[in-house]
Structure 1
Amino acid sequence: MRKGMLGEKIGMTQLFGPTGVRIPVTVIKVAGNVVIQKKSVEGKDGYSAVKIGFGDVKKLEKEGTESKYRLSRPEVGVFTAAGIDAPRKHVREFRVSEADLDAYTVGEEIPTDFFEAGEYIDATATSKGRGFAGVMVRHNFGGGKATHGVHEAYRHGGSIGMSADPARVLAGTKMAGQSGNATVTIQNLQVVQVLPEEKAILVKGSVPGAKGSLVMLRTATKKYQG
């Protein structure tokens, strides 16, 4: 079954297995996932998917006026149409099979144990931004020789030019530029433990993004889970 939900990266800690082996884990808070919409192949969209909302939205409170959410009227209307009182900050869509749509109910919150311990998932998030970086930091280049005769080119990327044919720099050439701040997916992460009281799950290994960032959790696509 293909499943998906959203979470907030809390940070990393460690557990110890039955044999005393240390297991590094990432704590992901998954409280507040609510189903906004279900799309079917037979509907106007032509494909099967579920739309999920996550995260609290702050209210704009001003003396003498009615408090309202920091969202546009159409955005709030999506949640109102689904019968959800409080809108959510983040909205994402997950493609699922037509048979898996029955596992979701519009307006209801997804339980913490939606992913069980032992399952494998793929985690997608925005990596930490590192700003402008050279080729040694960004692409792990070795740099030039720090010996006599090298003229201020210790951390340069070297030649990028071509000869008379094709006489241009090829697209995709590794050069200096912005490092990080990109959508990254880590595949085949195992759910080590589910914490219903804390509404969080513990995932083995590291997950992209900084603390407090949004994480998309989906059933692993390349891991056999028969």
Structure 2
Amino acid sequence: MASLLSSVRVGLRAGCRTMSTATTTQPATWTHNSLRTGVIARKKGMTAMWDEWGVRIPVTVLQMEQCQVVQVLNEETHGYTALQIGSTDRTPKNVTKPMLGHFERAGVEPKRKLFEFTVTKDAVLPVGTELVASHFVPGQFVDCSAPTMGKGFQGAMKRHGFGGQPASHGTSVTHRSLGSTGQRKDPGKVFKGKKMAGRMGGEQSTVQNLKVMKIDNALNLIYVKGCVPGVDDQFVKVRDAIKKRGNKIAPTDLLPLPFPTIAPETVKAMPRELVAKTGGADPYVMSE
């Protein structure tokens, strides 16, 4: 953990992502008010898992690729405390000169996607710190944010779930039409925000309180229970569940969470796969 809080300087060259340990500080202590950084992962699709009772659990597979801290934003210069996280290396020839200078000052490879995550002061990480899947623990809850799938121009029934017109005698070629949109002479207009046909999807969406079911340390995979917005290979922001703060974020035997993130030497000593405990009684046994 101490090595993660050391000063970092990574050369801008292929394969160079090692952290310098010139100076070392004491690791911070996780509290119920601490807010860790999130990570950037890529949605790889959906599959299923089975618990010890044989219950099928649908899961979404998220993979982290070269996820690093690119910039630290503090209150003195920006008015708030946050970390800029980058993911997925890209070739320098496809990056603009201003962004090349930004990455060069940080000492990291150019990244394909950048996001900011608000953190508390005790959760600040040095520039260049690499984040891995074991930043999360199986059994905790996370929030996943990404643009939804674009559906194009759609009608009111598909876009807003309207019931449509009566599918009976007297209705002619208007079964899926919107129907009335305004009133009479007073007010004599259609109010702004009326649910009508239009562009559907492609908007930022967040699914909250998804349970982390499994972690693969070898492939940097995060298996979360349920569905995640976006198409396959979409960049997804994953962070600790905001509505389950404190000891509700994970089972008590898993607290405290790795803070401010997990140490590289700890990951090397861990098994490849970590699976969340389900526990409880057998759901297939009928009670008397």
Off by >6 Å, runs of 4+ in structure 1: none
Q: Does the aligned pair in 2 maintain the 1:138–1:179 contact within 8 Å?
A: yes
Specify every segment of 5 or more residues in structure 1 that has no aligned partner in the other structure, as ranges: 60-67
1:181 is matched with 202
1:147 is matched with 168
Between the aligned partners of 1:21 and 1:151, the Cα distance in structure 2 is: 48
| Superposition map of 1:81-120 within 5 A | 81-84=105-108, 86-101=109-124, 104-120=125-141
After superposition, the CA RMSD in angstroms is 1.2
Instruction: Tell me the amino acid that sits aligned with residue 122 of structure 2.
Output: A
Instruction: Tell me the amino acid that sits aligned with residue 78 of structure 1.
Output: H
Confirm whether residue 79 of structure 1 aligns to residue 103 of structure 2: yes
Identical positions, percent: 38
Q: 2:173 is paired with a residue of what secondary structure?
A: coil
Q: 2:233 is paired with a residue of what secondary structure?
A: coil
Indicate the structure with greater helix content: 2
1:63 is matched with none
What TM-score comes out, normalization by structure 1 length? 0.90
Deviations 1:118-163 (A, max 9, x none): 1111100111111111111111111111222113211011100122
Instruction: Tell me the amino acid that sits aligned with residue 87 of structure 1.
Output: P
1:39 is matched with 73
Specify every segment of 5 or more residues in structure 2 that has no aligned partner in the other structure, as ranges: 1-33, 248-288
Q: 2:78 is paired with a residue of what secondary structure?
A: coil
What TM-score comes out, normalization by structure 2 length? 0.71
Instruction: Tell me the amino acid that sits aligned with residue 146 of structure 2.
Output: A
**Count of residue pairs brought into register by the alignment:** 213
Between the aligned partners of 1:18 and 1:56, the Cα distance in structure 2 is: 39
Between the aligned partners of 1:150 and 1:178, the Cα distance in structure 2 is: 27
* Cα displacement (A) at 1:77: 1.1
**Which residue, 47, 54, 57 being the options, matches 1:20?**
54
* Cα displacement (A) at 1:181: 1.1
Greater RCO (CA < 8 Å, at least 6 residues apart): 1
**Which residue, 85, 107, 130 being the options, matches 2:151?**
130
| Superposition map of 1:201-216 within 5 A | 201-216=222-237
Between the aligned partners of 1:55 and 1:126, the Cα distance in structure 2 is: 18
Deviations 1:61-101 (A, max 9, x none): xxxxxxx42011111111111111x2101011011111221
Indicate the structure with greater strand content: 1
